[in-house]
Amino acid sequence: MILQVENVSKAFGGLQALLNLTFDLPEGQILG
Amino acid sequence: MIGPNGAGKTTLFNVINGVYPPSKGKVIFRGEDVTGFKPYHLAHKGLARTHQIVKPLNELTVRENVMVGACFGRRAASLAEARSTADQVLDFLGLIDRADNLAGTLNVAQKKRLEMARALASHPYLLLLDEVLAGLNSSEIDMMVDSVRKIREQGPLFS
């Protein structure tokens, strides 16, 4: 895998922008 | 990534790219935990991105803008190497005839291609394109999609 995103969350104060995001991106793939 | 305005697409790019650290979770790039690494550090490691709202260095030429990507990218190119890479990338993306013009003189579609050129010149392993087709007409979209496919199919394109 060239990129692995594991349970990523991001909050700005009380605003939850990302919540438990998980995905893998194999090398050579276009993901969109 | 597909989602309505405000869904968090650009925020995700910013977390992957190190603009913001995540509140929790991990970003692993080529097997290495790079969570919270700064964007310039990730550029050295081979992770490049474009921005939804393009902001070229308007007082520099198109070529010089692309050289910035090469100098601060994975190979930390010398000025001579960066110039060579910039010209190859600009030729690939159909901007070589504008290389000596100030970046601020480009139209929106050309600025989008310049944004991609600057990212490509950093010799990335992974290229994150944020809304790279937004604001383009159908022929410009076809050209950009064709460029993305060529990048994927041909692998490293520039010496």
Q: What is the pLDDT of residues A3-31, one digit of tens each?
A: 999 999 999 999 999 999 999 999 887 77
CA atoms of B121 and B76, how far apart (whole Å): 10
Would residue B158 count as lying in a domain? no
pTM for the complete prediction?
0.89
Residue of B nearest to A28 (CA): B152
Q: What is the CATH number of the domain that holds B146?
A: 3.40.50.300
Residues shown for chain B: 159
* pLDDT of B76: 87
* pLDDT of B8: 87
Q: Do residue A8 and residue B24 have CB atoms under 8 angstroms apart?
A: yes
Would residue B4 count as lying in a domain? no
ipTM above 0.90, yes or no: yes
Is pLDDT above 80 for B1?
A: no
Would residue B52 count as lying in a domain? yes
Q: Do residue B22 and residue A4 have CB atoms under 8 angstroms apart?
A: no
Per the structure, the count of domains in chain B is: 1
Task: Work out whether strand A3-12 and strand B24-29 pair parallel, antiparallel, or are unpaired.
Answer: antiparallel
Would residue B90 count as lying in a domain? yes
Would residue B112 count as lying in a domain? yes
Question: What secondary structure letter does DSSP report for A5?
Answer: E
Residue whose C-alpha is closest to residue B1's, from B54, B49, B69, B37:
B49
Q: Is the model more confident about B52 or about B99?
A: B99
Beta bridge partners, A23, equal A5
Answer for the pair B22, A15: CB distance below 8 angstroms, yes or no.
no
CA atoms of A18 and B132, how far apart (whole Å): 22
Distance of CA B23 to the CA centre of its chain: 26
Q: Do residue B23 and residue A9 have CB atoms under 8 angstroms apart?
A: yes
Would residue B125 count as lying in a domain? yes
Would residue B157 count as lying in a domain? no
Mean pLDDT taken over chain B: 92
Is pLDDT above 90 for B52?
A: no
Task: Work out whether strand A15-25 and strand A3-12 pair parallel, antiparallel, or are unpaired.
Answer: antiparallel
Contacts of A11 in chain B (CB under 8 A): 23
Answer for the pair B17, B39: CB distance below 8 angstroms, yes or no.
yes
Would residue B51 count as lying in a domain? yes
Q: Which domain holds residue B146?
A: 9-152
Q: Do residue B29 and residue A3 have CB atoms under 8 angstroms apart?
A: yes
